[in-house]
A and B are shown apart, each in its own frame.
Chain A
Amino acid sequence: MESVEFSRYLSMLTLSVHVVFATVGVGVPLFIMVAHWLGLKRNDDHYLLMAKRWAHGYVISVAVGVVTGTAIALQLALLWPRFMEFAGQLVALPLFMETFAFFFEAIFLGIYLYTWDRFKNPKHHFYLLAPVLIGGAMSALFITSVNAFMNTPQGFAVLNGELTNISPLLAMFNPAMPTKVAHVLTSAYMTAGFILASIAAFHLVKGNRHEYHRKGLALTMKVAFVFTIATALVGDLSGKFLAEYQPEKLAAAEWHFETEGEAPLVLFGVLTETNEVKYAIKIPYALSFLVHSNFTGEVTGLNDIPEEYHPPYIIHYFFDIMVSIGIGLMLLSLVYVIGLKFNWSIIRSKVFRWGLVASGPLAMVAIEAGWWFTELGRQPWIMRGYMTTAEGATTSPYVWAMFIAFAVLYFILMVGTIVVLTRMFRKNPVENEIEKIREKGSVAV
């Protein structure tokens, strides 16, 4: 195998690991903030304790996020030297700003964590969360704009092989950026919500009847429900964006070969040798609707796109996984929210609660599927229209060895994170902490 293949696998691996921690890093501060705010407003120690415990777990995830993020940032230059040489002239600005945003987040997170009892006015301590939330969101915004640029490069002209007319701001605010950033942010908040909900639901399933977990579950599910709707809405806009700017990606995701109106949405199924779709669920007119908001609009098919620019057809499954999980979680949280209001007993049933336990991991699977879909869907380009992935890759013959080394490293990091997090909370169960608060009269210990 060639260096380029291993470079792709290594990028894939590092990014897939990083995005787990990055999503938590972007999403969880929102929930810490909501819990802390409720705690102050209702003068309820349960919510304050929730904010504190989440923040403690969150720090570990951030630390591993920093480690894997540093790995990607260096690997971009190590694995894709030609690409970075080219793109560095165009998108160095958002890359540079991401570092600042992250720095800002990390500093205030550190301060928040160690200053529970240092402020006279507890509101001041709460305000420290704002820079954490904003810093995380800005990190995601800047880095996603770089990825958006790879899909729809603009802000420069090529004249006799030289770059001219460079505009860093145009490069950053490229056509893919608004939907991509919005979708990444909403899906991060949604996923963080379901992950925290999973943990609360797990305690309830295990027979722990403490009010703390019920409050946590209700809070996270309500917020997650809102963001699930937002994610689907922005996802719809992302589809419209693709139809206009990257029709090959949408067509490959939908196994849509003939350009035609009244196009159906194809879910799952298999593709035969002759590119026929079998065993699929077809929702009539739905693809036309996704693209044009009416049932007759014409959608470009793969047959109108040169064969060498077709993305791998497998992205169809990644797209389906993402959308199915999105719709499934929307229904799940809808039932929960309504059930909570009308006191349905179904939401307290064991089966339903196991569903809630699964929601967090499922949301994370949707995130991975979404990224695999969009990144594989960009192939064969690393920078659409300007540089192919093979042209961008390193020529070093040792990438395979690095792949193995990093795979071992990430395995250690993943296992370590899980072990440390479970041990940390097991050693320190909620009941003990609530007892301590009663004795000391304050959450700050």
Chain B
Amino acid sequence: MTIEILGISVLWLFLFGYVIVASIDFGAGFFNAQTLLTGKHHIVNTVIQRYLSPVWEITNVFLVFFFIGMVGFFPKTAYYFGTVLLIPISISIILLALRGSYYAFGTYGTKGHKGYTLMYGVTGVLIPASLTTALIVSQGGFIKETAAGTLELDYVALFTSPFAWSIIVLSLVSVLFISASFLAYYSSVAEDKGALKLFRKYTWIWSFPTLITALGIIIEMKWHNQDHFQGMLNLWWVFALSAIAFAVSLWFLKKARYGWSFIFVVLQFALAFYAYGVSRYPYLLYPNLTIYDSFTNETMAISLVVVFILGLMLLIPSLYLVFKLFIMNKPYIKKGV
């Protein structure tokens, strides 16, 4: 394995971690707001509050790790993505900031205002959509060079592309699917029957749309980016495994084995995510950047890997402690102490 591949694999892992934890978080916010409108808020409120408060900073750190790591391992991406993504990513930052302040002000301080809870729910859908633009742009075809030799995002092409919109839809439905699946499991641990019933229903509702949009995107890829489409075809069996994991997760859901059901949902996404990543090898940005021509120098790469390993040795025990104390701690989940 070359060090370029090691680097991108580590980053892809972080991104995957972020996608999963952030989806749970975003989706929870959305359900929180949705039930507020449909009058079922009291059913889900405790489960959501109890899970969300201690972990939101950890979620945020995954994102920071990802892009600091990206700039570290592949400094050229800072130039390309930094130049063209000013507006979409600034919007994401602002939404993330509003969301972070909900925790700061709502959870630690005083009880949240109703409008604030709704705003918080809405950011849960808008953030995935705005962050996804980075991924869409990386597929190529949306960056144009101006006469002066600078780069610009082609907004018209972006907003009129069905391909781009399908990816945004996929990001939304998967957020809701992953989140519902996790919260169903969480409420089953908390032995909260009402919440469990609701989240089980939401998991069913959002499962098939996820599968269908994902398939749709693979097909659209044929017209959008022939190379990448070919790469995906070569890995058809991994996508097939992902579909099987999807079926297994629903089977477990039916059998009321919520923990296993959630694990297979994660597995489904992991397989598809990695297959998608591998199939675009070696491109970071079609057709301008590959992992080889944007790579940092060897010395920096090695020192980053070393620091990464040392850092993990410090963090994994601490994360384990958090997990034991808050996330997987039955008395805490039930009572909140």
Contact = CB atoms under 8 A, between A and B. Distances in A.
Q: Do the two chains belong together in a single complex?
A: yes
Interface of A: 56, 59-60, 63-64, 66-71, 73-75, 77-82, 84-86, 88-90, 92-93, 95-97, 99-100, 102-104, 106-108, 110-111, 114-115, 118, 131, 163, 166-169, 394-396, 398-399, 401-402, 405-406, 409, 412-413, 416-417, 420-421, 423-424, 427
A96 B78 contact: no
B296 A93 contact: no
B68 interface: yes
Contact of B100 (A67, A78, A90): A67
Given A102-B61, A111-B322, A405 B101 contact: no
Interface in B55-73: 57-58, 60-61, 63-65, 67-69, 71-73
B304 A92 contact: yes
The secondary structure that dominates the A interface is helix
Contacts of B303: 93, 168-169
Contacts of B205: none
A398 B150 CA distance: 14
B87 A402 contact: yes
23 contacts: A63-B101, A64-B100, A66-B60, A66-B100, A67-B101, A70-B100, A85-B78, A89-B75, A89-B296, A89-B297, A93-B307, A96-B69, A96-B307, A96-B308, A97-B311, A100-B307, A108-B318, A166-B297, A396-B84, A405-B90, A409-B97, A420-B104, A424-B108
A93 B314 CA distance: 17
Contacts of A102: 61
B76 interface: yes
Contacts of B308: 96
Interface of B: 54, 57-58, 60-61, 63-65, 67-69, 71-73, 75-76, 78-87, 89-90, 93-94, 96-98, 100-101, 103-105, 108-110, 148, 150-152, 296-297, 299-300, 303-304, 307-308, 311, 314-315, 318-319, 321-322, 325-326
Nearest to A117: B337
Main secondary structure of the interface of B (DSSP, over half): helix
Nearest to B146: A395
Given A63-B100, A66-B57, A71-B97, A92 B108 contact: no
A60 B72 contact: no
Q: Which of B76, B79, B93, B148 has the most CB of A within 10 A?
A: B93
B110 A92 contact: no
A89 B60 contact: no
Contact of A420 (B69, B75, B94, B110): B110
Contacts of B64: 69-70, 73, 99
Contacts of B307: 93, 96-97, 100
Given A78-B89, A97-B311, A416-B101, A106 B61 contact: yes
Contacts of A118: 325
Given A89-B300, A107-B319, A420 B109 contact: yes
